[in-house]
Amino acid sequence: MWCAAHPPAVAVPVILHCDTVIDMVNPPLVVPDRVEVVASVTGEGSANRTGSRFGFLATDLGILWDDGSGNVLAAFGDTYGVGWSGPGAGRRSADHRRNVLLRTSAAAGPCDPAGGLRLDQAVQDTAGHAAEILPKDHRPLIESTVIPTSGIAVDGVQYLHYMSVARWRRKGWRTNYGGIATSTDGGLTWEKPRKARWRNSLLARRSFQLGAFARDRHWVYLFGTPNGRFGDIHLARVEPRRVTDPGRYQYWTGSEWTSRPRTAAPVAAGPAGELSVGFHTGLGCWLMVHLDDPAGRIVLRSADVVTGPWSDGQTLISGTEHPALYGGYLHPHALHGDSICFTMSQWGPYNVYLVRARLSRR
């Protein structure tokens, strides 16, 4: 059940991303002018008091998307409650849930300096306890966890790209596959269709294990990377009614779209970890935010068209000031004017923060 501390506000119409007819040889350069952490999003010390209200003290990621009704859904990764003491992720015994889903109403501004990102409701299994929405495969040694990577709403259906993590490695992780889960009741219940999966190879080199959805008037796009945080970024597209059918996706080769995923060429060079993409109406271009793990930073790229060329990564926020940062997920209602808002995670406190960045196009 969805459970709210306050009744949901009246929804506002969703603003769909639009495409552009500009085709430039050189990408636009968008640079951050001022970046500030607005507030904590999760944790009992945040304005959302997620411990006492939703039963979790620590979590990460904070993937944001418009639910089609003007509200914003927020999916989090491995989540811990009573028994978590930090730093970092907790024990399985610390009320572990592999993922949880919350919602913020349309009335909540995307970057409120007083409260940050307001979380109004959570999918709950019992009162005051956020539920795990995507369970793991309980067969031995098959799946360690199920982590959301991107979400999008299309024609009343919620689609959540996730990665099936087989096991953790010293540097990153190995996936079984990247998949798409669906919900037809606003995120309350989910299914994981077996056909909606990009299976990994034996050498763990296939893309679309991590994903980032985006959309224009005609297509749903899926940006993808291999497992871990060190691969290049590839691009696929599909008709909106075929989101859960990998056989209907077309892949960008660098010069054309093809139905053969192995011919896809990178649209942006790695190393790339968690990523998100959106069209910024104020700047008139596409923006991409992703983790550059070796450099210890979250970067910003820009392009006039989704196929690129994409600009080189500009440092958006650095681990020098925010140690062990990761994530970087754009707020869909903050892609206008001269700024963006995005979520950032930190490993030590193992919680999520809202960050605002003012941008300029050069």
**Three-class HEC string of the chain:** CEEECCCCCCCCCCCCCCCCCCCCCCCCCEEEEEEEEEEECCCCCCCCCHHHHHCCCECCEEEEEECCCCCEEEEECCEECCCCCCCCCCCCCCCCECCEEEEECCCCCCCECCCECCCCEEEEEECCEECCCCCCCCCCCCCCEEEEEEEEEECCEEEEEEEEEEEEECCEEEEEEEEEEEECCCCCCCECCCCCEEECCCCCCCCCCEEEEEECCCCEEEEEECCCCCEEEEEEEECHHHCCCHHHCEEECCCCEECCHHHCCCCEEEEECCEEEEEECCCCEEEEEEEECCCCEEEEEEECCCCCCCCCCEEEEECCCCCCEEEEEECCCCCECCEEEEEEEECCCCEEEEEEEEEEEC
Which pLDDT score, from 0 to 100, does residue 304 have? Answer: 97
Which pLDDT score, from 0 to 100, does residue 106 have? Answer: 66
Which pLDDT score, from 0 to 100, does residue 13 have? Answer: 34
9: tokens are: 């506000």
d(CA 277, CA 222): 9
Which pLDDT score, from 0 to 100, does residue 115 have? Answer: 65
- Per-residue burial over 226-263, b if 16 or more Cβ lie within 10 Å, else e, is bbbbbbbbbbbbbeeeebbebeebbbbeeeeeeeebee
d(CA 45, CA 40): 8
Mean pLDDT of each 10-residue bin along the chain, 362 residues long: 49 37 73 95 97 98 96 97 96 97 80 79 97 94 95 98 92 93 98 97 93 97 96 98 98 96 95 97 97 97 98 97 97 95 97 97 91
Return the CATH fold of 27-361: Tachylectin-2; Chain A (2.115.10)
**Closest among 192, 212, 208 to 200, alpha carbons compared:** 208
Which pLDDT score, from 0 to 100, does residue 100 have? Answer: 98
Domain ranges for the chain: 27-361
Which pLDDT score, from 0 to 100, does residue 170 have? Answer: 75
Pairing mode, strands 285-292 and 275-280: antiparallel
Are the CB atoms for 225 and 275 separated by under 8 Å? yes
Compute the Cα dihedral for 223, 225, 227, 229 and give only its sign: negative
Which pLDDT score, from 0 to 100, does residue 45 have? Answer: 96
Pairing mode, strands 172-183 and 157-169: antiparallel
Longest dimension (CA), the chain: 55
Rounded (5°) CA angle 310-315-320: 155
d(CA 171, CA 168): 8
Which pLDDT score, from 0 to 100, does residue 220 have? Answer: 98
- Per-residue burial over 5-23, b if 16 or more Cβ lie within 10 Å, else e, is eeebeeeeeeeebebeeee
